């Protein structure tokens, strides 16, 4: 692996900090926490207007001249500030998938519009009856004239309430893997219903329902019955990418708030272990991002990064709560909450990290089979 891009990234960090100081607003954090939808429309617009969403994309798809590594540093800054960018992260995953499997028409229409901030895409994979086993999807799409009619229900369609489209996994024929097809469905289409689901992490996700939703054949992504090949690509882009629960500055802020911790050898040892954990997580993510940036698909590497990063975040937030003592559980509304309630929030927020995008058990299975060469616990697909 070549570490150069991420060494360069360090050089962009100061500029990103200045960008953050100039543009990020505390009321956006308050807003996001209150609504829990992990996406802020004003921030999204700003990122689009400044060409930050379009950084690193080819000019023919609407890419901007902004340095991709500066954009990465800005996203780190945004997440460390306490803001999530899930609406963009899920959109990015679908755009990356479209780049590989979309038609020329889809690439020309959808990618530039998303980079301009006009198209936001939620992921519609999970159903009330299937999550890890996506091949059991039952949401049905049947041919109707020159288009399709979709009926079914999806669970945990995060940011659907803020998005313009959902990337929908449907069943078009035979059971299991060979009868699945993807569609890019406008969320304002007649027959789509969105209901909020609030989580312990403070996140608002959604249950979404589709009753006789009509889409043209041009909304189909990939081949009819070829959805399994599409989801395997899309899932790779879901793992091994930076996300809003990664807060590089949190350890420093805890130490700044409670400098006494450093003079306690037990606490200092814990903080050192957490720092090492964080660095390993950062490097695993950097490797997966590097593979993506160079046109590859970080299958096993992304799963390794996802597994380690999500479990390291949970270890970190749990250990920090212990170090802060009883006051650690005070939330942001309590005036004397340590680190303004950041650890309490991060603790609740990272609970879901080991679930969405593939649970830790599934990640271990991929690493065990794909890297360690151990036998699979279920038949290969
Ligand atoms: C806050 C939140 C946001 C989400 N956002 C989205 C979203 O935007 N779009 C979307 O489509 N989905 C989303 N999800 C869904 C998420 O991807 C699924 O919850 C996850 O894949 C697990 O599926 P499940 O909930 O059906 O659990 P199940 O698949 O039923 O798993 C239950 C348990 O069994 C274990 N298990 C299952 N299969 C195996 C196996 N083969 N080997 C070993 N253990 C196994 C799992 O690890 C888990 O512990 C979100 C979930 C949450 C909590």
Query: What CATH class is the domain 239-370?
Result: mainly alpha
CA of 127 to the centre of ligand 1 (A): 10
CA of 353 to the centre of ligand 1 (A): 10
Beta strands in 59-203 (DSSP E): 121-124, 140-144, 147-154, 165-171, 180-186, 192-198
For Cα atoms 243, 248, 253, give the angle at the middle one, nearest 5 degrees: 135
- Partners of 150 in beta bridges: 141, 213
Specify the DSSP class assigned to residue 198.
E
Is the distance from the beta carbon of residue 167 to the nearest atom of ligand 1 less than 6 Å?
no
The residue whose CA is least distant from atom 25 of ligand 1 is: 131
The superfamily in CATH containing domain 121-227 is Butyryl-CoA Dehydrogenase, subunit A, domain 2 (2.40.110.10)
Respond yes or no: is residue 238 known to be catalytic.
yes
Is the distance from the beta carbon of residue 243 to the nearest atom of ligand 1 less than 6 Å?
no
Per-residue CA distances from 37 to 239, 242, 327, 341, 359 (Å) = 20, 18, 27, 19, 21
The residue whose CA is least distant from atom 31 of ligand 1 is: 132
Catalytic residue chosen out of the listed positions 238, 278, 289, 365: 238
Is the distance from the beta carbon of residue 354 to the nearest atom of ligand 1 less than 6 Å?
no
Could you tell me where in the chain the CATH 2.40.110.10 domains are found? 121-227
Could you tell me where in the chain the CATH 1.10.540.10 domains are found? 4-84
CA of 156 to the centre of ligand 1 (A): 10
Is the distance from the beta carbon of residue 356 to the nearest atom of ligand 1 less than 6 Å?
yes
Interacting residues of 361 by C-beta distance below 8 A, sequence separation 6+: 132
Could you tell me where in the chain the CATH 1.20.140.10 domains are found? 239-370
The CATH number of the domain covering residues in 4-84: 1.10.540.10
Nearest CA-CA partner of 179 in 129, 137, 233: 137
Q: What is the pLDDT along the chain (381 residues), one digit of tens a residue?
A: 555 555 566 788 899 999 999 999 999 998 888 888 889 999 999 999 999 999 999 999 999 999 998 998 999 899 989 899 999 999 999 999 999 999 999 999 999 999 999 999 999 999 999 999 999 999 999 999 999 999 999 999 999 999 999 999 999 998 888 999 999 999 999 999 999 999 988 899 999 999 999 999 999 999 999 999 999 899 888 876 766 566 778 999 999 999 999 999 999 999 999 999 999 998 998 899 889 888 888 889 999 999 999 999 999 999 999 999 999 999 888 999 999 899 999 999 899 989 988 999 999 999 999 999 998 776 655
Q: Give the residue, out of 126, 153, 210, with the most ligand 1 atoms within 8 A of its beta carbon, to mutate for a pocket test.
A: 126
């Amino acid at each position: 692996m070549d570490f150069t891009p991420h060494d360069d990234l360090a050089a962009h960090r100061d500029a990103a900090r200045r960008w953050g100081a100039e543009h990020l607003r505390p009321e956006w954090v308050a807003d996001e926490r209150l609504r829990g939808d992990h996406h802020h429309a004003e921030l999204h617009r700003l990122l689009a207007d400044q060409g930050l969403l379009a950084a690193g994309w080819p000019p023919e798809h609407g890419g901007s001249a902004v340095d991709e590594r500066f954009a990465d540093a800005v996203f780190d800054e945004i997440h460390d500030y306490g803001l999530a960018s899930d609406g963009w992260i899920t959109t990015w995953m679908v755009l990356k998938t479209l780049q590989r499997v979309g038609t020329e028409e889809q690439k020309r229409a959808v990618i530039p519009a998303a980079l301009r901030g006009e198209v936001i895409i939620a992921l519609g994979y999970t159903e009330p009856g299937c999550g890890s086993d996506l091949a059991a999807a039952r949401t049905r799409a049947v041919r109707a004239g020159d288009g399709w009619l979709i009926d079914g229900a999806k669970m945990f369609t995060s940011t659907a309430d803020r998005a313009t489209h959902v990337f929908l996994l449907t069943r078009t024929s035979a059971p299991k893997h060979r009868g699945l097809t993807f569609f890019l469905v406008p969320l304002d289409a007649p027959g789509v219903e969105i209901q909020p689901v609030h989580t312990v992490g403070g996140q608002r996700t959604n249950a979404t329902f589709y009753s006789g939703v009509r889409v043209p054949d041009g909304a189909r992504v990939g081949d009819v019955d070829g959805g399994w090949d599409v989801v395997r690509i899309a899932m790779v882009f879901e793992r091994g990418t930076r996300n809003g629960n990664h807060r590089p500055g949190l350890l420093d802020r805890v130490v700044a708030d409670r400098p006494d911790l450093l003079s306690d050898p037990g606490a200092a040892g814990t903080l050192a272990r957490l720092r090492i954990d964080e660095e390993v997580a950062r490097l695993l993510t950097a490797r997966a991002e590097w593979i993506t940036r160079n046109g590859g698909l970080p299958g096993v590497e992304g799963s390794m990064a996802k597994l380690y990063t999500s479990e390291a975040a949970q270890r970190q937030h749990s250990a920090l709560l212990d170090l802060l003592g009883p006051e650690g559980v005070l939330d942001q509304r309590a005036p004397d909450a340590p680190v303004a309630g950041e650890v309490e929030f991060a603790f609740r927020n990272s609970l879901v990290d080991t679930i969405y995008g593939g649970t830790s058990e599934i990640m271990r299975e991929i690493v065990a089979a794909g890297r360690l060469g151990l036998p699979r616990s279920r038949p290969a697909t």
